[in-house]
Amino acid sequence: MMCCSKLEWSGWTPCSTTCGVGSQTRQRSDVCPNIPDEIQRQSCTLGTGTYGPWSPWGDCSSSCVGGSRVRSRAHSCRQALDSESEPCGVQGDFSEWSGAGPCSSTCPGGISRRTRSHSCSNVLQGDTVTCGQPGFFMEWSQWSSCSNTCGGQQTRLQRHTCGDDPNVERRPCGGSGVFGAWTGYTPCSQSCLGGTQTRRRFDVCTRDVETESQNCGVIGAWGGYSAWSQCTRTCGGGALECSTFNVRTTTFCSPAANNAVDGVP
The domain defined by 178-220 carries CATH number 2.20.100.10: yes
Read off the pLDDT of residues 156-210 as tens digits, 9 standing for 90 and up: 999 999 888 999 999 988 766 677 889 999 999 998 988 899 999 988 777 788 9
Read off the pLDDT of residues 103-136 as tens digits, 9 standing for 90 and up: 999 898 899 999 999 888 888 889 999 998 888 9
Average pLDDT over every residue of 229-250? 57
Is the pLDDT at 260 greater than 70, yes or no?
Answer: no
Amino acid 254: pLDDT: 53
Residue-wise over 46-84: b if at least 16 C-beta within 10 A, else e?
A: beeeeeeeeeeeeebeeeeeeeebeeeebbeeeeeeeee
How many angstroms separate the CA atoms of 5 and 85, rounded? 63
Is the pLDDT at 52 greater than 70, yes or no?
Answer: yes
Spans of all domains in the chain = 137-175, 178-220, 221-265
